[in-house]
Amino acid sequence: MTNILDGKVAAITGAASGIGLATAKVLMAEGATVVMVDRNKASLDELAADSDGKAIAQVTDLLDAESCAAMIPEILAKTGKIDILYCNAGTYIGGDLVDTTAEAIDRMLNLNVNAVMKNVHAVLPHMIERGTGDIIVTSSLAGRAAIRHEPVYSASKWAMTCFTQTTRRQVNKHGIRVAQVSPGPVLSALLADWEPDRLQAVKEAGAVIEPREVAEAVLFILSRPRNVTVHDVVVLPTNIDG
């Protein structure tokens, strides 16, 4: 594919690293201007400076209510439009629920669920007015299976699976496509929070994938004709036991 996203503006949350960064690079390579959303200003500024004008830095703390609410208006002030919103930012809690703190649960649900819903809610009037748009959410294999190690994380991703399905049904009549990508274990910062024995086992088994492989699934979703919605792409390491 060559420049299939020419003229498009994509906003990606959690864009300073991992899946978000890999997707920003893939979409820019296909011609999109990418608004890279993250709270890490230094990383964003460096990435934008190296992008030949294809990336725009947007410093937002999605866990801060005022910063989160300001994100879409600030992006529109910079770009004039948003063709693609990719809600990718997230965090992870694993292990036994009894060992988790209430503060950690709040943080995960606020970032993995509430911020996504708020961002989508904020962009919809703009997309409805224009009669077009793509919204993609990073879900997870854990959004399709009850992972024993991940009661809070799995619950947050099940919530996103429900949210994308129901929102898609409400807005498809406006020319807006809503999709999710559901990766298995990805070599990113989130895996640093896995239990050491579990992490070592999946690495030794080759049961992990690279962020770019998820990014290419996002591009596949975006590259379909407008009359086609790919609601979910599950991207798994071949050697995963799950």
| pLDDT tens column, 111-159 | 999 999 999 999 999 999 999 999 999 999 999 888 888 899 999 999 9
Please count the other Cβ atoms lying within 10 Å of the Cβ belonging to residue 241.
8
pLDDT at 1 over 60: no
Residue for token pair 């498809």: 172
pLDDT at 204 over 70: no
Q: 85 — phi, psi (to 5°)?
A: -115, 115
Are 116 and 137 in contact by the 8 Å Cβ rule? The answer is yes
| Chain CA centroid to CA 176, Å | 17
Judged against a pLDDT cut of 60, whether residue 95 lies above it is answered with yes
Provide mean pLDDT across the span 221-239: 94
Q: Which CATH class is domain 9-235?
A: alpha beta
How big is the CA angle at 115 (ends 169 and 53), to the nearest 5 degrees? 95
Q: Does the pLDDT of residue 206 top 70, yes or no?
A: no
DSSP 8-state assignment for residue 224: S
- Indicate the residue type of 34: V
Confidence of residue 214 (pLDDT cuts 50, 70, 90): very high
Alpha helices (runs of H) in the chain, residue ranges in sequence order: 18-29, 41-49, 65-79, 102-109, 115-130, 151-171, 196-205, 211-222
Q: Cα(15)–Cα(45) distance, rounded to whole angstroms?
A: 12
Q: Rounded mean pLDDT of 68-94?
A: 96
- Token representation of residue 124: 């919809």
Predicted confidence at residue 205, as pLDDT, reads 62
Mean pLDDT, residues 2-24 taken together: 95
Residue with tokens 């990073």: 138
Residue with the larger pLDDT of the pair 228 and 188: 228
pLDDT for res 182? 96
Q: Determine the pLDDT at residue 191.
A: 59
The per-residue pLDDT for 211 is 93
The answer to whether the CB of 183 falls within 8 A of the CB of 19 is yes
Q: Which residues are catalytic?
A: 153
State the residue for tokens 């937002």: 60
Calculate the average pLDDT of the chain: 92
pLDDT at residue 82 is higher than 70: yes
Residue 190 has pLDDT above 70, yes or no: no
Q: Which residues contact 31 (CB under 8 A, 6 or more apart)?
A: 3, 4, 5, 6, 7, 8
Global pTM?
A: 0.92
- 19-30 pLDDT per residue, tens: 999 999 999 999
